[in-house]
Amino acid sequence: MLPPVPPPHESELVIPLDGEDVTLLGLPSVILTRCLAVSSSPSAHDIAVSIAREIIEGRLTPGTDLNSVGIAERFGTSRTPVRDALSALERSGLVDIPPRRRPTVRDRTIEEIREIYGMRSLLYGAAAEPFVAHSSPEHLDTMRAIHAEMGAAADRGDLTTTLWLNVAFRETELAGAGNRLLTELHDVIALRAMILRRQGLTVERLGRSHFDHGRLILAYEEEDVSTAKALSHSIVMRGLASLETRAAASPGDA
């Protein structure tokens, strides 16, 4: 039995997202619902969202078996919605389902990690120019509010809340850019990137991450596209370096 997943730290922060105002506590469900797109049944949706969150937040680690019978018992359903949920998680890159074997939480090689982080850098860099051209003052206000919460989370050493605040920051950036295709491309890798972002987070990195995101906001305030691109690239590459260090220390895990 998994321990209950603690929610992000309670906050009055409200994030405009997908046409509605979302609290920090409600953010994970909204993001996971959009990216997983489970339409077969409400039960399959709930199972997929719950397991995805447990994987992203590190409560189900790479290589962990996912017993469909145990999952069905846990959620009080038949095995059909469990199979649908696991299929959605496989399509999103979170789960492996080998033939005639039990599904497992997907592990990634360092080469795959580098590919994902390379795409993140390209996508965030591509968002900078349209953000400067099309964002509203409200987008920057939201990013400033998120940044303030990042500082409080860093002071607490709160890695889970920091993860979701980082997600909220980039979601706001993409919303401000107003490029639907860019958002769709981002959603293709979003969930697998979230897992890696959480794995690469350490208490020691929180202060620097908060500082760098503050510099990114300043670049946007000054409408400095080139600096914003460079800062996003630097933020992503620092995260990759943390994962590379982790992989080098535990070569069997990468």
Superfamily name with CATH number, domain 110-253 = GntR ligand-binding domain-like (1.20.120.530)
Beta bridge partners of 105: 95
**CA 122 and chain centroid, separation:** 16
**Cα-Cα end-to-end distance for the chain:** 26
Residue 251: DSSP 8-state = G
Distance CA 173, CA 130 (A): 10
Where along the chain do its domains lie?
A: 14-105, 110-253
Distance CA 218, CA 235 (A): 15
- Per-residue pLDDT of the chain (254 residues), as tens digits, is 444 445 555 677 899 887 889 999 999 999 999 999 887 789 999 999 999 999 999 999 999 999 999 999 999 999 999 999 999 999 999 999 999 899 999 999 999 999 999 999 999 999 999 999 999 999 999 999 999 999 999 999 999 999 999 999 999 999 999 999 999 999 999 999 999 999 999 999 999 999 999 999 999 999 999 999 999 999 999 999 999 998 998 765 44
The CATH number of domain 14-105 is 3.40.50.11540? no
Kindly provide the b/e burial profile for residues 13-40, where b requires at least 16 CB atoms within 10 angstroms of the residue's own CB: bebebeeeebebebbbebbbbebbebee
Same fold, 14-105 and 110-253: no
Determine the 3-state secondary structure of 6 from DSSP.
Answer: coil
